[in-house]
Chains A and B, each alone.
Chain A
Amino acid sequence: AQTVTQSQPEMSVQEAETVTLSCTYDTSESDYYLFWYKQPPSRQMILVIRQEAYKQQNATENRFSVNFQKAAKSFSLKISDSQLGDAAMYFCAYRRGKGAQKLVFGQGTRLTINP
């Protein structure tokens, strides 16, 4: 079974600094997708970034980028120029490819931004 592990329950960063959240996963599949979701205090789950396993290039969305290391099964999220609005729970998630439905989530990392 696929598993997703986030080893940092909490992280904090100074406003305008850079922070990296870690995620590792376990799978025997070669076709899959990886996601980072943000859950602010409002509880709404918001997709931050996604990465297709077949793509070697790391995904980037404005201040958010990933470091995807397929062989190491590692998928970290880097947030540059941290802003107060980035404070939230961040969840790493995995989904097998080829019509799979289930998103497998990690335990989450609570990110605090210090002004």
Chain B
Amino acid sequence: NAGVTQTPKFRILKIGQSMTLQCAQDMNHNYMYWYRQDPGMGLKLIYYSVGAGITDKGEVPNGYNVSRSTTEDFPLRLELAAPSQTSVYFCASSTGTLYEQYFGPGTRLTVT
């Protein structure tokens, strides 16, 4: 049981490039989340999903897109990367809203 896995661990992008951050969970959780953590700050919700085919915006969705075609996977797409997107990105999953969110190890992204 690997829990929540994220790839890559680190990535450097040039301004204007695009990339997809991968997230997978093997706990059969319906709920999945993407957060970003800027230096010295707490996490902010980017997007979330309550099940396959259903996604919704969080607090800071601009510049990102998500899709959820399976229960296990919840990729985060960055189009036209900007320096403001330099951050650590965390994926999380949960059985439901009343339950604990389990976090992945994070992806450190630098846009230069």
Question: Which residues of A approach B to under 8 Å, CB–CB?
Answer: 4, 42-47, 50, 91, 93, 95, 99-103, 105-108
Contact = CB atoms under 8 A, between A and B. Distances in A.
Given A42-B105, A43-B106, A102-B58, A93 B42 contact: yes
Interface residues of B, number: 23
Contacts, number: 49
B74 interface: no
Interface of B: 31, 33, 35, 40-45, 48, 50, 56, 58-59, 88, 90, 92, 97, 100-101, 103, 105-106
Contacts of B105: 42-44
Contact of B100 (A50, A99, A101, A107): A50
B103 to A, nearest CB: 4
A103 B103 contact: no
B100 A105 contact: no
Given A43-B88, A44-B105, A45-B103, A101 B42 contact: no
A107 B41 CA distance: 5
Contacts of A42: 105
Residue among B45, B58, B100, B101 with most chain A CB within 10 A = B101
A108 B42 contact: yes
A100 B97 contact: yes
A44 B101 CA distance: 12
A15 to B, nearest CB: 26
A95 B92 CA distance: 15
Given A42-B105, A45-B90, A108-B40, A99 B45 contact: no
Contacts of A105: 41-44
A91 B43 contact: yes
B107 to A, nearest CB: 10
21 contacts: A42-B105, A43-B88, A43-B106, A44-B106, A45-B43, A45-B90, A91-B42, A99-B97, A100-B97, A101-B31, A101-B45, A101-B56, A101-B58, A102-B58, A103-B45, A105-B41, A105-B42, A107-B40, A107-B41, A108-B40, A108-B42
